[in-house]
Every structure is written in C-alpha cells, then in structure tokens.
Amino acid sequence: MQASNADAPCPIGRAVGLLGERWTLLILRNANLGTTRFDAFRAELGIADNILSNRLARLVEAGLLLRVPYREGGRTRHEYRLTAAGAEVLPVLHALAVWGEEHTEPAATTGSMQVIHQRCGQVTTPGGVCQACGEPIRREEEAWVRPWLSPDPITLAAPILTDTTGTAETGS
C-alpha cells in the first residue's frame, strides 16, 4: 500500500491506496474472469512487463492474489490465483461497470457489458440479489458478457481458499 494511504482512518482511502493504481482493477477484473498467467495478463491488457510485475507483486502482498508455481517446459513459472479477498472486489468491479456504461461513451458500437444471473438468465445490477427473480446471486451463478471480446458469457473464476496451515485449495 502507498505510505500516504496505508494508515488512513478512512477505509475508502485505504482501499484507494491499494486498488487505485492504474491497471490494478483491470488485473483484478481479468483474474475474476479466469486469467492466471503473466503472459495472458500482458496480452489481454497490453501492459508493460515491469508494471504488470509490480502490480501482481502488490496484489500478492496484499492477499488478493496467490502466487502458485507450475512447471512448463522444465522451468518453474507462476500463476496468479484469486483469493477470497480478491474475489470480494467483484461488487466494486460490477458497480464500476454499471457506472461506466451509464456515464462514459463506449469506444465502439459493440454492445454493452452485462453481468448475467445464470440461474434465471437475466442481466443483474450490483447488490447481490437478482432484481428479476429475487434470488441471491452466488458467485458461481454469475457470468460476464463483454461483447467486444465475445458474445458468450464468461463464468467467474473460483477463488483459492487457504486453510489455517496455509494450504491452498480451490473453492467457490
């Protein structure tokens, strides 16, 4: 966290200190949508390696992502998996998407981003309860449609949960 906001009494100030740097929310968006590997983040975002490395390290340090080793071609590399804390940023991302749709001009005429409640198939609003069917929206029932990339809904990635020994397991 930035020193200027790390000890701020206001939780918004502390959150902005962590999440307010350029690229951070986009990295978390992509992690929530299933991106895990450095090269994939770089390709999807068009971000410079040094900036991506810095942001990923800060998100790992803050407990929003977990760095998990894997082997590829005889070399150990790392994936960045969403933690429960990283998954809990989702309502902020949803609210920003809604705000952006209402108050900014789209770059192209590709259609609006939508967050779908897969259980009933309706577009949702932030808040955790589907306004169409009245049911609570569980993470595994939520999908995002980004029409500029694909017309197909993308189911959210399951966060990694850690037990008291620090052992990681995938959860939903």
Average pLDDT estimate for 81-103: 94
Residue 171 has pLDDT above 80, yes or no: no
CA gap 91, 81 in Å, rounded: 18
> What domains sit in the chain, N to C, each tagged with a CATH number?
3-83 (1.10.10.10), 87-155 (no CATH)
DSSP type of residue 149: T
Is the distance from CB of 56 to CB of 36 less than 8 angstroms? no
**Higher per-residue pLDDT: 145 or 166:** 145
pLDDT digits (tens, 9 = 90+) for 30-81: 999 999 999 999 999 999 999 999 999 999 999 999 999 999 889 999 999 9
Q: Where are the alpha helices (DSSP H) in the chain?
A: 3-6, 11-19, 24-32, 38-45, 49-61, 84-87, 90-103
- Local confidence band at 165 (pLDDT 50, 70, 90 cut-offs): very low
Is the distance from CB of 144 to CB of 113 less than 8 angstroms? yes
Containing 54, the helix (H) or strand (E) segment is helix 49-61
pLDDT at 109: 65
Question: Which tokens hold the place of 68?
Answer: 């998990």
Q: What is the pTM of this model?
A: 0.86
pLDDT at 69: 95
Q: Which of 63-67, 118-122, 165-169 has the lowest mean pLDDT?
A: 165-169
